Structure 1
Amino acid sequence: MARRVFLHVGTAKSGTSFLQDLWWQHRDELRERGLLLPGGRRRDHFAAAAVVKGMTAVVETLRDRERDAWRRLVEETSAWSGDALVTNEHFSDSPPDAAAAALADLAGAAEEVHVVVTARDLGRVLPSAWQQRVKMGARQPYRRFLATVRRGEDDQKFWRYQDVPAILGLWSAGLPDARVHLVVVPPAGAPRDELWLRTASVLGLDVTGLDTAARRPNDSLGLVEAELLRRINERVPRPRRTPALTRHVKGTFVPEALAGSAERESFVLPARHHAWVRERSEAVVADLRARAYDVVGDPDELLPADPRAGRTPDDATDDELLAAARVVLSRLGLPDAPTLDGALDVVAAELLTHR
């Protein structure tokens, strides 16, 4: 039986990829230092989260061994005598009964169960979350996304991954507050490894000498590139948006063809949205201060920075989009297109060959 098992459940867009990349990069060294990442690869934790959460559309695409991922991770943890870590942000919006069952499974595999939530200020999360949705095939313009999030329309999926008090409440059921950890993502401008160090302190892990340089390419998109991808998505018929196509877009098309096709220009949270984001964030901070969870970092770091001037993807011009699209066509070895509509159609048709 493990001494402690840490279940890192999210939130999305809170440095999870950065942390997971480092944990898996240093997996062998971490094992020598007493921390086990059960499973053979990072995807095992994603598959386990999909099974626990009941992501039917994803589970149907998994191989038999992947569908058994959660049970295998629990069994490996049970056979380990040190600490263990399971990590995937899709755990965060699991149904209550699924979360309870997962915690019970882990309680049978370790002497102590700990839950870890990482959280970032909403002012930075919102642009990042929209971009991630677009990479997954979303067609919704940035301005519409912000409006639906603000109103909580249609059981807004965004809040199921970002309502920090609710996620903590879901995953803390039956656990002592001291075993429920919130790691606050440092503000912009903080040392790059600060989140890594904060999380390591929760795990009781000595990370001295471990390289924190990124090994995976940064495929974050500027506003022109992100808007170009959104418009390409509009040309892909919804019935043909398959999990395989999404994997191709995220894993190949974005990093190899799209990223860098236009000047890198980050986009902002429009000033008109700042007031409600600030109000919501202040309510979260007040809730956290009223709890006895273990918080690493200052809760006030979850408050958004003051509004800053800048453009959004909705401001991208057709000329800018066409110029970027032509770079993409060239990288894909496809003929040039004289119009934006023509370029969008050609790129969308090329993507559909990889379904």
Structure 2
Amino acid sequence: MARRVFLHIGAPKTGSTYVQNVLWNNVEALSNAGILLPGKFSAHDEAMADLRGLTWHATPTWSWDRLAAKTAAWPGDVVITNEGLGAATPAQAARAVRSLQPAEVHIIVAARDLWRTFPSMWQQSIRARGVWSFEDFIGAVERGKFDDFWEHHTANRMLRRWGDLVPAEQRHLITVPGPGSPQDTLWRRFAGVIGIPPGLCDLAVSAGANTSLGAAEVEVLRRVNRALGDRYPHRAPYQRVVQRHLVDAVLKQRTNEVRFGVGPERAEWVLDLAEQQIKELDEYPCDIVGDLAELRPVDVKPVPTPDQLHRDQVLDAAIETIIGMIGHAEQLNLLLPQPRQSPLERLRRRAARKVKRGLKKVKPPQGLQLW
């Protein structure tokens, strides 16, 4: 039976990709230290989708019950990590915690300042087949028409939904450090909660961070999604095709130099929301790792929104994307195994070359017409 189970449930866009890369690239070292990551990355994603009743995977092989059984069979500590877990309903969260008991269940939630969260969250929605504009997204949140943002993508509500199921000392809120902090700060905070000894994990192998796209590039992707319609209805096939061949291979490789954000006209609104968020989290009984002050935006700059791009900027990015995909296709073609010629085909080609060489050596008599 597992001793302790750490459920890292989100929130999305809080450095979870970085943390997960470190964990999954150090599975053996962690296992030797008595800390298990059951299955593999896809197992946690499929189990999360099963728990929430989502049809994100065409042919899933892992259920939540299978992941829980794998957890129960381990005698030490276990880490389950997927930022989609935070969006579970109260009933789904309760089922998950019950299935892992009598082990000591810990809930880990990360929080990031809203000034950075809003554009990151919208971009993530576009990279998950979304089609709405940034203005539609942020306007819906501002008018109170998109409550799912608060339910599914911020620490406040998901911490209460999951945290209320365990004692206060087993609830952990990790704040994401601000820009300019050492890259390993977030990992050190996360590892400290679980009890992973310093130096156990190789942080150099954590490549593959979730690189942000520039304004023009994400707008190109949004329009591609709109044109795709209902093709690739499941998340896994979409990621396998669009994410791999368009986003990872081409869009992420561009300079992405035109950054975007909330826009100066909404700065005061975001700052007020941040103060409300800090107050709520400060009043909630839990272990705070980091500093709630890090949730207060400090780098509020007047950057444009993607909707303010000139059409030529989007067109130029689209053309460069096509050129990039041509190069990507050429690279893939070079990796394909070349078809082997049959012995008969090789003889035919050899004979044809000999005939061709022979014809070059034969010069027609002077004045003789061959046509």
Whether TM-score is above 0.5 comes out as: yes
Match of 1:142?
A: 134
Q: Does structure 2 retain, via aligned residues, the 8 Å contact 1:4–1:114?
A: yes
1:249 counterpart = 2:231 = no
1:126 counterpart = 2:118 = yes
Match of 2:11?
A: 11
CA 1:218 to 1:184, structure 2 compared with 1: closer, same or farther past 3 Å?
A: closer
The Cα of 1:229 is off from its aligned counterpart by 1.2
Match of 1:114?
A: 106
Q: Does structure 1 retain, via aligned residues, the 8 Å contact 2:8–2:109?
A: yes
1:270 counterpart = 2:263 = yes
Q: Does structure 2 retain, via aligned residues, the 8 Å contact 1:219–1:254?
A: no
Match of 2:33?
A: 33
Match of 2:83?
A: 89
Deviations 1:321-349 (A, max 9, x none): 22221222122229xxxxxxxxxxxxxxx
Q: Does structure 1 retain, via aligned residues, the 8 Å contact 2:215–2:256?
A: no
Matches of 1:326 and 1:177, distance apart in 2: 54
Q: Does structure 1 retain, via aligned residues, the 8 Å contact 2:191–2:197?
A: yes
The Cα of 1:306 is off from its aligned counterpart by 4.5
Match of 1:291?
A: 284
Written as runs of structure 1 = structure 2, the 5 A alignment for 1:1-355 is: 1-39=1-39, 41-55=40-54, 57-58=55-56, 61-63=58-60, 65-66=61-62, 68=63, 70-108=64-102, 110=103, 112-153=104-145, 155-208=146-199, 210-213=201-204, 214-216=206-208, 218-237=210-229, 239-243=230-234, 244-261=237-254, 263-333=256-326
CA 1:286 to 1:26, structure 2 compared with 1: closer, same or farther past 3 Å?
A: same
2:97 maps to a residue whose letter is L
The Cα of 1:162 is off from its aligned counterpart by 2.5
The Cα of 1:260 is off from its aligned counterpart by 3.3
Deviations 1:269-314 (A, max 9, x none): 2112122222222112112222220000111111122521222212
Q: Percent identity?
A: 35
2:99 maps to a residue whose letter is D
Q: Does structure 2 retain, via aligned residues, the 8 Å contact 1:261–1:325?
A: no
Match of 2:347?
A: none
Q: Does structure 2 retain, via aligned residues, the 8 Å contact 1:184–1:296?
A: yes
Match of 1:341?
A: none
Matches of 1:225 and 1:233, distance apart in 2: 12
1:85 maps to a residue whose letter is V
The Cα of 1:26 is off from its aligned counterpart by 0.6
Q: Does structure 2 retain, via aligned residues, the 8 Å contact 1:223–1:267?
A: yes
1:158 maps to a residue whose letter is F
Matched residue SS, 1:8: strand
Report the TM-score, using the length of structure 2 for normalisation.
0.83
Q: Does structure 1 retain, via aligned residues, the 8 Å contact 2:97–2:105?
A: yes
2:5 maps to a residue whose letter is V
How many pairs were matched up?
A: 324
Q: Does structure 2 retain, via aligned residues, the 8 Å contact 1:46–1:88?
A: yes
Select the structure of larger CA radius of gyration: 2
Matches of 1:246 and 1:121, distance apart in 2: 27
Structure 1: runs of 5+ lacking an equivalent: 335-355
Match of 1:344?
A: none
Matches of 1:164 and 1:152, distance apart in 2: 18
The Cα of 1:166 is off from its aligned counterpart by 1.4
Matches of 1:279 and 1:263, distance apart in 2: 30
Report the TM-score, using the length of structure 1 for normalisation.
0.86
Q: Does structure 2 retain, via aligned residues, the 8 Å contact 1:52–1:102?
A: yes
1:27 maps to a residue whose letter is V
1:310 maps to a residue whose letter is V
CA 1:279 to 1:319, structure 2 compared with 1: closer, same or farther past 3 Å?
A: same
2:197 maps to a residue whose letter is D
The Cα of 1:168 is off from its aligned counterpart by 1.0
CA 1:96 to 1:263, structure 2 compared with 1: closer, same or farther past 3 Å?
A: closer
Q: Does structure 1 retain, via aligned residues, the 8 Å contact 2:246–2:325?
A: no
Matches of 2:73 and 2:250, distance apart in 1: 44
Matches of 2:46 and 2:194, distance apart in 1: 23
Matches of 2:83 and 2:209, distance apart in 1: 20
The Cα of 1:165 is off from its aligned counterpart by 2.1
Deviations 1:119-172 (A, max 9, x none): 11111111111111111122211122111111231x443222234221111102
Hey, which bits of structure 1, 4+ residues long, moved more than 4 A?
A: none
Matches of 1:5 and 1:259, distance apart in 2: 35
2:153 maps to a residue whose letter is Q
2:56 maps to a residue whose letter is V
